[in-house]
A = this chain, B = another copy of it.
Amino acid sequence: MIPFTPKDSTPKNLLVSREHQSSATVVAVGETLFGGEEFPVIAGPCAVESAHQLLKTASGVCLSGARGLRGGAFKPRTSPYSFPGLEEEGLQLLALAREKTGLPVFTEVMSELQVELVSQYADVLQIGARNMQNYPLLRAVGRQRRPVLLKRGMAATLKEFLLAAEYILAEGNPHVILCERGIRTFGQDTRNTLDISAIPILKERTHLPVIVDPSHACGLSEVVPHLAKAALAVGADGLIVEVHHQPSLALSDGRQSLDLPAFHDMMVSLRALAPAMQRKVYTTMSPLRATG
């Protein structure tokens, strides 16, 4: 259907392709389903900073209807002198937040050597944009059983993105969620440029679920809810959003983090939009645990 030029064509017989599997893959993370009728929203801070920060934020997003908790324990930082994350302590806090809220944990793994450790705590292993073509890491997460959230590289074509996912499937792990998070262009008004067209094109070419990260896409918290609605309307299968209970105090990415009331408002507006898209956006999944 898409008129490939020879140069950009994705081979037709890939495991990720619609030619190989016409029906949509639904990736289950606990009760949360990616790729079906549900439009799950994963939310949480850029980095796990403390028990207080994580539990405050996790409880808040849970009450507003988040269906997964994001948070970085191992942080890829442009500078070697920036906060690298709390590492294993961060993973332990994520597990604690899961216990308190019931939300499954999404967190990044940066190295083959961390896969075993991170998979002991996380429900979903995230591969960041900088590592989209770190092939040994892709193979390593392909050899274990946790679902994988694969972010598009900042200058990756859709073919390169799908071939990166293919590395994971080729090792035997079919539970891959793709994530469009903005590409690098001449534009300097936003942190990156959300490539909204990528979502319908990816969904045409692959059976894997495709979600959107509006926070990294624009880098501006006031723009995030607009992009979130656009993502739902364009046919994405969910969102991953940065939320912090006190964005102005965040150790990283504060400028793009929603505070809890803004996150709540965004969820309300998504819920209003969802029926016209034949989608469901949940309200809180487990209020007792969320407030526990």
Alpha-carbon distance A127/B222, docked complex (angstroms): 30
**A window 237-254: CB within 8 A of B:** none
Which of B3, B8, B80, B154 is close to A167, meaning CB atoms less than 8 Å apart? B80
**A window 91-148: CB within 8 A of B:** 110-114, 130-131, 133-137, 139
Contact A185 B189 (CB under 8 A): no
- Distance between A67 CB and nearest chain B CB, rounded to angstroms: 20
Q: A7-B5, A193-B185, A200-B223 are in contact. Are A154 and B155 (CB under 8 A)?
A: yes
- Distance between A131 CB and nearest chain B CB, rounded to angstroms: 6
Check A163 for interface membership: any CB of B closer than 8 A.
yes
Check A27 for interface membership: any CB of B closer than 8 A.
no
Q: A133-B78, A136-B110, A230-B234 are in contact. Are A189 and B276 (CB under 8 A)?
A: no
Contact A189 B112 (CB under 8 A): no
Nearest residue, chain B, Cβ from A11: B79
Check A12 for interface membership: any CB of B closer than 8 A.
no
Alpha-carbon distance A220/B205, docked complex (angstroms): 14
Residues of chain B within 8 A (CB-CB) of A1 are 222
